[in-house]
Structure 1
């Protein structure tokens, strides 16, 4: 593992500064952002973002209507250049949620693409259209609005599964730390061209997918909307890396048998990365069989950015999220939240806690929630449950609140059961929860989308299938058949929406 060198100066984008300093040099003409038929070189990005940064420099805090467009990327870059905290807004959020976020974060401006119709919840904010004019004369990049690596860069709101969304204040230090750690783990350089079709209002799509390439001096090609045909096109035209979520890779796995061209270009990609939720082992194996390439997984959260990853020079083992990134401390703890789990046996479950420069500063306006999120000695309680293999690879087995099932004296992670169920040919999608049981404490419940709705697998069939692969105490006792599993915008299964009614 190479040593990690972090640049915690206010200059998050050295290639942008270089392009501005030498507008006729090769760096200024390197491609930076590409959205559909619209693109900007580093020189054009500097010329476009600089005047916008100057306009928002005194704004205090700004909101960005984060559509998957060139305008969103320019707006966030401009805010970072100006040293002004930006609040990315999910365009699919409802009025109540948007109203809460605007009230909580109190931005003075909302930035949006010209012609975009904004919802009533934003009506009270002053609007500033993002004008992308590459014909304008290049202006000097503004002096960074702050030289403090602890100053807020972004305020990203959590999904709000247990209450109103909380605004995680992400400092410049955390962005630099995570992106440089990933560069180390993934051997990510300015020669890489990233393709993705992720939304731009969260960590994965915005920080990793847009700011990551810009920090490296490379480029990103955003699909606007994910399509396997778009992935194939961009990879065939020189893209080297693909970022996606499990839903996207599932669609790729489903398409591969009938699309040899897609298999060919995926085989040439330098790195295929999945995140935001666990990628089922079944999809791992289907992609590997068709392309000869393994998808690698990484693990992070809004509050921590990235914690672990399978390394580009490591073993791409399905079902794991690799090892801690450089600079990140990770431990597993017992239910008391303080007693460390020392075992590296691939079986003993504990809650993941992390500590390091990749962490957020606080929940905006929520000092009690911030305090509750950390232990007395500074570890962040992720709420994710995992086991560690003998070589240190981390395997996440689910969320503490929804995926840890205590049955018959055992602590069982729902994730490994879901993976086992997905290996059954009669199962298209699967989720596992627990429900009260007078004898066992909790019994395991499987929620299944059958491959053939007319002939779904039986409880006994699935129970035997899981018992053979894992252990008898991990078999489901109840099975519900569904037409589809409830998912959020990132493709994560919303288990709290699974009810017995």
Structure 2
């Protein structure tokens, strides 16, 4: 199957312009260089070399393993070894360690190559490694068919066309930045502007230069909302999309005020790609991620595996069934089996509510964001949004911590100016049920975040 469109607009990566013809000629040369490999790793910087290498893998039908450029020695060795990558694709001058696969200097290859043949939809396109928060990172096998189905569903939901100019500055080793933000533009045929880094000023400049569709994570949008001039420049955009973590309601509302756009939120995982989203031509509710995309089924399950009502209030583990699902974890048959129910649904590990109208709200991860306190089940995200509604609160993260009487207590880590613990506890108690108020609030300078801007809750305890 043809995963990428043959025609379309140019790409600009960190200020470097490539026509579609030049990119595909370069990628075809890469494809010829790697043909026959079982898998290739790509040193995934925000660069034209990364895009050419990934597209080359797609054209050759060789699975691509994006390697985070800031990965430490242990993580890097694990990904290269576990994936079985035969080659490492990078620009000249990239550090290359002993025992690593042979290096192919992408920037030394010509900008022309012969077209490749057809590759089946069932073939693996990408091996994406998880964050490794519950052990060593696992390789997620994503097929060409899954990528195509996911991108086509999003193009329909977001009215994404070749007339769009997609703008983002996200890392090119995750679903958001690479699959949606590069392969999406190449499949749809739209122009792509990658700003190098996701800075509000760069987004504003891209908007003034004709950008229409903007991708960002909540950290990007929070910084944009704090920069009225940059936010105001986005009024000319068509659509703002937020993902990879929940967008705080106050940020949503401030963006809407400053840009004139209510952001589209969506939900997905490495294993599922994007499965739920608000629509470009539909309602967008702060705190909600929308409804299932075409071909996607969802349901909620309780701790006993039984069904949870779609009443908009009762949380349960979100299960997904769709053509977008991954093929399994590389070399991990047991982990693959454990991630599916007996009747074939993928267990996301995320806690959600679903309303009678099908709208989904993500409460958080089952492992860190479902707090069981005094017989109540409390979603951390709801408490975080209540804290963020206070004008003096800049960041907030909530977890459950051990409590002798309650089992767990609601504990908050807050970055705020000029306000104390008791005031924040009372503020939440005035907005939510009293049992949801934090019993402890730690005032901290900053929250620990990963490369995608997600709070790393397992590291919160190190702050106090």
* TM > 0.5: yes
Corresponding residue number in structure 2 for 1:25? none
Q: Which residue of 2 aligns with 1:143?
A: 117
Task: Say if 1:49 and 1:83 are closer, same or farther in 2 by CA, change over 3 A.
Answer: same
Partner of 1:59: 37
State how many pairs are aligned.
463
Residue matched to 1:115: 93
Deviations 1:88-120 (A, max 9, x none): 0001110011111111111110000122234x2
What do the CA deviations read for 1:317-372 (whole angstroms, capped 9, x no partner)? 11100001111111011012x3111232x211011010111000010000000000
Q: CA deviation at 1:470?
A: 1.6
> After TM superposition, what 4+ stretches of structure 1 lie above 3 angstroms from structure 2?
none
Structure 1 equivalent of residue 102 of structure 2 = 126
CA contact (8 A) 1:296 1:318 kept: no
Q: TM-score, normalised by structure 1?
A: 0.90
CA 1:299–1:132: 2 relative to 1, 3 Å: farther
Q: Unaligned 5+ residue runs, structure 2?
A: none
Residues 153-184 of structure 1, C-alpha deviation per residue, up to 9 Å, x if partnerless? Answer: 10000000010000001111110011001011
Q: 2:226 aligns to what SS in structure 1? A: helix
Do structure 1's residue 100 and structure 2's residue 61 form an aligned pair? no
Give distance in 2, aligned partners of 1:233 and 1:37: 12
1:456 and 2:423 aligned: no
> Could you tell me how far 1:439 is from its partner in structure 2?
2.2
Following the alignment from structure 1 to structure 2, what is the Cα–Cα distance between the partners of residues 13 and 108? 24
- Residue 366 of structure 1: aligned partner: 332
Q: Equivalent residue of 1:469, what SS?
A: coil
Partner Cα distance (2:150, 2:123) in 1: 16
Root-mean-square deviation over aligned CA pairs: 1.4
Structure 1, gaps ≥5 residues long:
1-9, 20-29
Distance 2:231 2:440 in 1: 38
CA distance in 1, matches of 2:82, 2:262: 42
Among candidates 300, 303, 307, match of residue 332 of structure 1 = 300
Q: What is the aligned counterpart of 1:314 among 282, 287, 294?
A: 282
* Cα distance in 1 between the residues matched to 2:45 and 2:287: 32
Q: 2:433 aligns with which of 459, 471, 481?
A: 471
Secondary structure, counterpart of 1:499 in structure 2:
helix
Question: What SS does the corresponding residue of 1:390 show, helix, strand or coil?
Answer: coil
Shift, 1:55, TM fit = 1.3
Contact 2:29 2:109 in 1 (8 A): no
Does residue 255 (structure 1) correspond to residue 227 (structure 2)? The answer is yes
The CA deviation at 1:263 is 3.4
Q: Is the 8 A contact 1:31 1:39 kept in 2?
A: no
Contact 1:31 1:40 in 2 (8 A): no
Q: Deviations over 1:213-233 (max 9, x none)?
A: 100011110011121111011
Paired with 2:423 and 2:87, the residues of 1 have a C-alpha distance of: 57
Q: 1:13 aligns with which of 4, 16, 30?
A: 4
**Does residue 190 of the first structure (1) align with residue 162 of the second (2)?**
yes
Aligned residue in 1 for 2:202: 230
Is the contact made by 1:38 and 1:70 (CA closer than 8 Å) also made in structure 2?
A: yes
Which residue among 309, 327, 334 is the counterpart of 1:342?
309
- Residues 334 and 340 in structure 1, CA contact (< 8 A), matched pair in contact too: yes
Q: What is the distance in 2 between the residues matched to 1:99 and 1:87?
A: 13
Instruction: Please give the alpha-carbon distance, in whole angstroms, between the structure 2 residues aligned to 1:367 and 1:37.
Output: 43
Confirm or deny: 8 A CA contact 2:10 2:17 kept in the other structure. Answer: yes
Q: What is the CA deviation profile of residues 189-238 of structure 1, one whole-angstrom value per residue up to 9, with x for unaligned ones?
A: 11111000000011110000000010001111001112111101111111
* Mapped partners of 2:460, 2:258: distance in 1: 34
- 1:408 and 2:374 aligned: yes
Say which of 384, 400, 414 aligns to 1:418: 384
Query: TM-score, normalization: structure 2?
Result: 0.97
CA distance in 2, matches of 1:436, 1:362: 35
CA distance in 1 between counterparts of 2:282 and 2:378 reads: 28
Q: 2-side partners of 1:139 and 1:477: how far apart?
A: 63
Query: What's the CA shift string for 1:441-493, capped at 9, x where partnerless?
Result: 2111011111x2xx3322x2112211221211110001111111111111111
Is the CA contact (8 Å cut-off) linking 1:244 and 1:273 kept in structure 2?
A: yes
Whether 2:447 is the aligned partner of 1:485: answer yes
